[in-house]
Amino acid sequence: MASPVAQAMDLLDQFLAFPGAALALQALASLGAILALAWLARRLQLGGDPRIQGEEHAYALADEAICGFDAQAIAVDRAGIGAIARDTTGRVLLIRQHGSHFAARELVSLAGVRLDGRFLTLSTDDRRFGTITLDLGDQAQVWAASLRRLGAARP
């Protein structure tokens, strides 16, 4: 009587004797590997399209970005891709999506600020941070007007 391993090998040899069986087996193994990697990526919470869920989320992101940044006013983009926040000392923080996370930079000059109706386009001194256009609705004009004082409060 043959061992179970020998029987399994004989069965595999018979299966592989069919034309295209090896190709089908390779395709099934590849599909299994892809599904396993997709499951692992989801389990590790990789990728995705993160959005700022609301003002509370933006407050938390501002505090994470600059420890002790006590945001007093905040405006979140309608799509949730970015936000702008001001603290009690007049510092302005720009928060934006960066891959599957968020990045923040302090806005120190008015040079990179442009208002276009309900859209506020902002850029920081850090060129790697890039430019972001926030859809702030009616708040865009209010924020643009308040940013005119940006350089005046600092020595």
What CA dihedral angle connects 52, 111, 137 and 90, to 10 degrees?
Answer: 70
In the predicted model, is pLDDT for residue 152 greater than 60? no
- CA–CA distance, 112 with 73 (Å, rounded to integer): 20
Question: Can you spell out the DSSP letters for 74-108?
Answer: EEE-TTSSEEEEEETTS-EEEEEEETTEEEEEEE-
In the predicted model, is pLDDT for residue 24 greater than 60? yes
Q: Identity (one letter) of the amino acid at 90?
A: G
In the predicted model, is pLDDT for residue 149 greater than 80? no
- CA–CA distance, 78 with 135 (Å, rounded to integer): 6
pLDDT band of 86, cuts 50, 70, 90: very high
How large a percentage of the chain has pLDDT more than 70? Answer: 96
Q: In this predicted structure, what is the pLDDT of residue 37?
A: 96
For the chain, the domains span: 4-43, 55-147
pLDDT band of 109, cuts 50, 70, 90: confident
pLDDT tens for 112-147 read 889 999 999 998 888 888 899 999 999 999 999 888
Return the SS3 of 11: helix
**Mean pLDDT across the chain:** 88
Q: Is-contact 85 92, C-beta < 8 A? A: yes
pLDDT tens for 31-51 read 999 999 999 988 887 877 789
